[in-house]
Structure 1
Amino acid sequence: MEDIKVSEEYKEAFNEGYELAKELGLKPDILDGLKAGKYRMQAMSEGMKEYQKDIAMEQSKDVIPPFDMDSVDNTSYIDTNIEDSKTQDKGIEPDK
């Protein structure tokens, strides 16, 4: 995989946006009207979007409940005690 180099300024702004979304619940669209430092605002907005993705991913884990082995019915659905001689494995005799 190819390494992508990102400027320190971008990383800082991205992380600030992530933290603002996390701590204050800000959404990325709050930065749409701001003209100050477009590059920095874009990085902050992308940080906020990343936080929203993380939250959505975490919430989707809650949708699928964990598998509980204790709740599984141990009833066998295949009858392993077949006594019918027609279906019983007779085996193969080795060549002599």
Structure 2
Amino acid sequence: MNAPSKDIHERVHDEIQARIDTLRSGAPATAPNGGAWTQDKVAKELAQLERDQDFLVAHWRTRPGGSLAADHLPMRALACGEPQTCAHVEDLAKKYCP
């Protein structure tokens, strides 16, 4: 039996978190030209990943404390009011899970 696949929110979150963990671990990072990343570059990338993760979470929640009942479908993202999965999350998926 196959395990149920993660939803798009979980996949994007997991990918962002993996990148954060890699950078925080001190794993070698290389720039596209093959050179090592500077500490400043690592800090900027971590900050961007954390902003994107916060943005994802804001568009994942349907309301504080949980999801709406099934009779209120389609569930809507709290941050933008769009039905889930909103365009904001789809853009993050394109960026992190091509």
Asked if TM exceeds 0.5, the reply is no
Structure ID, larger Rg: 1
TM-score (norm 2): 0.29
TM-score (norm 1): 0.30
